[in-house]
């Protein structure tokens, strides 16, 4: 048997390599990239204590719905909140210092702690769901710093809720014994401690996040809005006491990694105007201009729906096509949630 000439072998090897590269290109170009921001309800419901069993069950349920996007062929990047968890970690640090003399750590350190712990829960429960569904993906949790402006006006007006809900009497006792600031929940669930919530300026490692996601890995990042850091001097980063809004950070991330779609998961299926009033109306698709008008008219409360709507507007104004606010169970359904679109 005569062996093929070297130039023939080279030609067919070259052809196979070209076909392989073409297949890779078309498989990547046909896939869409989605950023999904998990709301607090995906992790811890308002009437729960926050045991590991409760949180893992909540995460598992949310991840079961997330599979709809993965089966539809999306590459996925996940952001998540940490309001209840970071507040609880702060309380644990304060108790440890008071009872045992263990130095309490600042908020940025506690945000980093919850990025790791919540990322671990999401990664584990999502892997459990994928294995049950016969799907295989690598899942990576990235500890993410987000740069903020130390002169941001938010430091003069803290309004980001963290930690558990308190009765008015409990809140007043806490105020007597600390320098904390507390605000009443707009939905009547009690009082919560509030901290500064500056706007994100830049997210570190976005190029790596995009590359990993477009290569097929599921990435968990900007947890709790990211670890807030600033330049205390040129070329020197330092943490700062704050919690960045996870929806704004996720929206900025989505724009910087050129995501096709941005989803914010919350505990209601749609956004409403005149919420809980006789003329309440669910919104299906609205433009950025309409969303800004409803914001100006005061239809969305701070600490609840207003930051989510602003995040969707940010994504669209930074080049995104459309963003959707909905609950996890609606993912993959036609006309799911409220979609805000660029004009």
* CB contact set of 269 (below 8 Å; sequence gap of 6+): 282, 326, 327, 329, 330, 336, 337
Residue 235 falls in the annotated catalytic set = no
Answer yes or no: 22 catalytic. no
Residue 193 a catalytic site member: no
**Token digits of residue 33:** 């990239």
Rounded Cα distance between 149 and 103, Å, is: 27
Q: Is the CA virtual torsion 252, 258, 259, 261 positive or negative?
A: positive
Residue 87, CA atoms < 13 Å, CB-side half-sphere: 23
Q: Is 205 a catalytic residue?
A: no
Of 193, 308, 320, 337, which is the active-site residue?
308
Q: Based on the number of CB atoms within 10 Å of its own CB, is 178 exposed (0-12), middle (13-18) or buried (19 or more)? A: exposed
Q: What is the 3-state secondary structure (H, E, C) of 193-252?
A: EEECCCCCCEECCHHHHHHHHHCCCEEECCHHHCEEEEEEECCEEEECCCCCCHHHHHHH
Catalytic one of 81, 82, 88, 160: 160
Write out the two tokens for 103.
């130095």
By the 8 A CB rule, do 299 and 282 touch? no
CA 308/CA 245 separation, integer angstroms: 9
- 308 among known catalytic residues: yes
Q: In what order do the strands lie in the sheet with 261-266?
A: 139-141, 218-220, 75-80, 33-38, 261-266, 322-327, 338-341, 285-287
Give me the catalytic one of 204, 246, 303, 337: 246
Tokens representing residue 233 in the block:
């001097």
Structure tokens at 228: 């807030």
Strands of the 181-184 sheet, one edge to the other: 160-166, 191-195, 181-184
Kindly name the residue from 40, 81, 83, 337 that is annotated as catalytic.
40
- Enumerate the active-site residues: 40-41, 160, 246, 308
């Amino acid at each position: 048997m005569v062996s093929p000439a070297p130039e023939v072998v080279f030609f067919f090897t070259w052809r196979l390599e070209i076909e392989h590269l073409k297949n890779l290109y078309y498989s990547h170009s046909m896939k869409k990239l989605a950023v999904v921001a998990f709301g607090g309800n995906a992790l811890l419901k308002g009437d729960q204590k926050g045991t590991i069993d409760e949180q893992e069950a909540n995460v598992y349920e949310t991840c079961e719905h997330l599979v709809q996007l993965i089966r539809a062929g999306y590459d996925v990047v996940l952001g998540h909140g940490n309001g209840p968890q970071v507040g609880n970690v702060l309380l644990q640090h304060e108790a440890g210092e008071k009872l045992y003399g263990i130095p309490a750590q600042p908020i940025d350190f506690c945000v980093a702690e919850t990025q790791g712990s919540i990322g671990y829960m999401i990664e584990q429960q999502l892997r459990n769901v994928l294995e049950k569904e016969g799907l295989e993906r690598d899942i990576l949790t990235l500890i993410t710093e987000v740069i903020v402006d130390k002169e941001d006006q938010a430091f003069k007006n803290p309004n980001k809720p963290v930690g558990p809900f308190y009765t008015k009497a409990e809140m007043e006792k806490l105020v007597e014994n600390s320098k904390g600031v507390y605000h009443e929940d707009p939905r009547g669930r009690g009082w919560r401690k509030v901290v500064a919530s500056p706007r994100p300026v830049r997210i570190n490692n976005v190029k790596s996040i995009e590359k990993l996601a477009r290569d097929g890995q599921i990435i968990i990042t900007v947890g709790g809005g990211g670890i807030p850091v600033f330049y205390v001097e040129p070329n020197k980063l330092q943490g700062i006491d704050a919690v960045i809004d996870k929806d704004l950070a996720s929206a900025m991330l989505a724009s910087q990694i050129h995501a096709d779609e941005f989803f914010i998961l919350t505990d209601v299926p749609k956004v409403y105007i005149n919420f809980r009033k006789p003329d309440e109306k669910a919104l299906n698709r609205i433009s950025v201009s309409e969303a800004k008008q409803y914001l100006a008219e005061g239809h969305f409360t701070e600490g609840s729906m207003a930051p989510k709507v602003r995040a969707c507007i940010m994504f669209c104004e930074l080049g995104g096509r459309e963003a959707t606010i909905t609950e996890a169970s609606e993912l993959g359904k036609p006309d799911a949630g409220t979609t805000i679109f660029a004009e």
